[in-house]
Structure 1
Amino acid sequence: MGKDSKPKDSAGKGKGKQPAGGGDDGGSKGKGKGGKGDGLGTCTYVKARHILCEKQGKINEAYKKLQDGWLSNGDKVPPAEFAKLAAEYSECPSGKKGGDLGWFPRGKMAGPFQEVAFNTPVGVTSAPFKSTHGYHIILSEGRKN
């Protein structure tokens, strides 16, 4: 009985009506837990790159390079350029691959990392944030259900 509490249009029958406040261009499948109406928190998979540093000063230095090169102009950071900084700054083994984490499902990454990864729009670089592993910057490269 509990399954009927949420709309479930998983068959994709295209019922034209959505619950009040539903976003027009993202995830109308009712699967997501985000419920923000922007489609960001509703995808199932994210493709991302990241930079991980143990020290806040080091992640801030990497972020400043991103700001000086692109972010201060309102530009999006090209993945190839983000990859160069990840190779230079990241202390994660993925740094050797330009910080590439590939596609990962909701529930695979812990706490704040998952939250930021699934709520950063495609092509956008997150601000530095802290997780249990250290300090991160994420570049969102894709999302899918």
Structure 2
Amino acid sequence: MTTASLKTEPGPGEVLLFRAEVPPLAASMITRLSAKLDRHEQDRAARFIFEQDRAVFVAAHALLRHALGSIFEEGAIRFRTNAYGKPELDLDFEHGIHFSLSHTRGMAVCAICRRHPIGVDVEAINRSVDIEMLAEQYFAAWE
């Protein structure tokens, strides 16, 4: 059994941001990354219908574990779900670490902060959208 301990301690309010582009992955790479996840994460990944979505989920959760591994011993990282359904660290000691994970096709991002809740979001951009036309229709001139 691995005992949880801090490897490094980010300063209060310091934000660590990790980003990874996720190109289409070979099945062997998905298998290797999936091995880094816990049983619950692997079960969630298996429910994705599209292989590309499964690959991004697996890569995003592997990125989160890698990022948290810069602070904690990777083998000690466990998660639980809080009262609002948001995942949080389940460690044997008080750590004050908050994190957020977001992924979309082609990209995964996670943010980590000490003492402060944090949120991060990433969205795929459809480049075929006429941004200027949308702006003219939905925004005031000053916007």
**TM-score computed with the length of structure 1 as normaliser:** 0.25
**TM-score computed with the length of structure 2 as normaliser:** 0.26
